[in-house]
Structure 1
Amino acid sequence: MKPLSGLRIIEFDGLGPVTFAGMVLADLGAEVLRLTRSTGAPVFADVGGEILHRGRSPVAVNLKDAEDHARVLELIAAADGVIEGFRPGVMERLGLGPEVCAGRNPRLVYGRVTGWGQTGPKAAEVGHDINYIALSGALHAMGEPDRPPRPPLNLIGDYGGGAMMLVMGMLAGLIEAQRTGTGRVVDAAMTDGSALLMSLFHALRARGLWSDARGANLLDGGAPFYRCFACRDGRFVAVGALEPQFYRALLAGLNLNEAEAPQYDTGGWPALHARLEAIFATRDRDDWAALFEGTDACVTPVLSLAEAPRHPHNAARSTFGASGRPEPAPAPRFAGSDPGPEPAGAALSLDQAVARWR
């Protein structure tokens, strides 16, 4: 049994965060029905494929058809939660907004994930992950000091600030609904979520410990003991020797002593950057990884997407599952629960879905 076994969630198929949130809820054991368009092109050319769509069955619907609309409301009446990622007002125009759904099911938790949120001057505007994290202040802190900010894939806006905040909000709402019998509307905005993820850096800045200048701080590559270095073979190692004892282990592996490379002499950081760059360039990445293996220096190889599943640690934990393809396994794990991903379920007709949930 998985933690969310017995819970029923309806996912209105969409882009980015709602697809990821549906996958996570299904990984945790919820029965998720993914309502897809029965007419027209797929929302995003079925990019989710075998991984992001795993663990749930697609159900094709035409929400503008009166009969399909009525059947969807039957599903909502039997559901514990709904998740959707359309722009504000779209679900209301389709006659499936929170008020209508709550009228059919007062205990329903209705989760909405958007970039700007359901309210505010920009709520009706279009945008993407890069725009949301730009407005929240997160993007400004990322990248090289003398170049434009570099987007961190779509991990912070779509997935961290959007999907994971939606999942957390849904879980909180579901717990409350079980206790009170009354559901909630969850407004997960990527601007809000990515701003929340920056809480530590706001705290550091308030104490004068963080600069708005990129590449000048402890955790943004400004510190020579917390950054990546190029190796002789053109690959990279990641160094995270923050604590003094870990820094000493790093220096020992590099045949340096602390007197010639003091850790927090920030004025000497540019010279130390250059010195460490020269040292790491003398060996291949895997030579450095082997040298520091088992030490407290916090040095690891930077693995590609192709390499990561083959690393012994990831293989031992089945971090990428056992399906024979590099598919990240569900996380977190629970004692006594099978962590393996479930494949996507067979497509269901709307009538079959309604009959299943009766």
Structure 2
Amino acid sequence: MLFDLPPTRTWVAALLLCLTLAPAARAATIPEVRYTLGGTRKLLFVNNPEQLYTQDLGDSNHGNKIILTATATPGGWRNYFEHMNRSGYTLGYGIQLYNPNAFAVTVAVHGSGWVTNAYGGAPWRQLFNAYSQAGTSYTVPAYGVLWVMRKDASIPNGNFFSGVVDFTVSGGSVQVHNYAYRSFAAINGTAQYMGYVRRISPYNNHNESLVYKGTSPYTEAIATQVNFTFTDSDRDELAVSHPNYDLSAGGYTPSYVRQSGWYTNIGPAMNSYAITQDMISIDTPGWGVISPLTRSDGLNAYPNFGNWGVVYKLSGTLTNKGTYTRNVSINLRASPDYVVIAYKGSDGKWYEYNLQPNEYIQYAWVSVPPTGQPVPYEASFVLGGPASGNLFQAVAINN
């Protein structure tokens, strides 16, 4: 694939999970990294079942099923989905809003993105680069429907696909229905929500209990005031600290993890050095809340969740008390598996990138002159799918 302003890549060996992950520069300040969950809209996350068969389709003559049914109250919403077509047919996919009220409601659609391959950063690039804050407004009559996304006959059999759409509901709540279908005309309004699917795939023994769907109040994980001060003796990855989550104790300990970066997009059951504050929970209709902090999925296990579809925002200042200009980068290391992201470039545009296993990239850069004055920085990315979580982030001096 072609990328504008590609991040710099470096190949590295797999990273051992220990406190001394890599030599960390002893900067004059060691900032604390803390995340808060936020965002101006709520998340509808749809990844279960990941592998779609004929029985999962919304056609009345096939499965007559709805993949996700959820209620969207007035306010901002983001629907993000990722699946694979195992039906044997070319499929379509759509997101329907149904107005159950005896009065009209208004829906504004702000943008969307869509891809029918495994390059899951593309929908996010499309969404953010053509975003409309005002949106296109639609009136949904009483007991009427609006399709905020509809992609007929567009998904080849055997392909991954993913997409995202942002919309705002006003005047009353609506029901959100995610459908996969062979023929749009065969959706007749009688389909039923399939629930949290926990089957074993006949194709490759994939356990659908390990993928999830539902709602979260949050679409962003935000770390602010991550401020660094450094001198001429500092270089490479700069040391940070963050609170240590003790899963057995069910909370944060008085001790801190200090290392040359921090782990996100993974729960503490999967990585005991995960920063944890960034992780969302998913409220699954017909099941309950699936949380990275509890044994709560269909296997009574800690969920296999990577915060797909959550936009990460990092910001702070860089202060150079040395004698020459330093080039600082914001870095991201993939897990020992493939990772697909979209990131915000220095020009304000969003770009997609596909990381190989254990690949290390620089996706944002700042030139910091030796003035002793703080220079602001910010960086944003989102993990698409299919991809693994367990991402390592760092701020590094490169000269």
TM-score, normalized by the shorter chain, greater than 0.5: no
Give 1 or 2: higher strand fraction: 2
The structure that has the greater radius of gyration is: 1
TM-score normalised by L of structure 1: 0.22
TM-score, with length taken from structure 2: 0.20
Higher relative contact order (CA 8 A, sep 6+): 2
Q: Which has the higher helix share?
A: 1
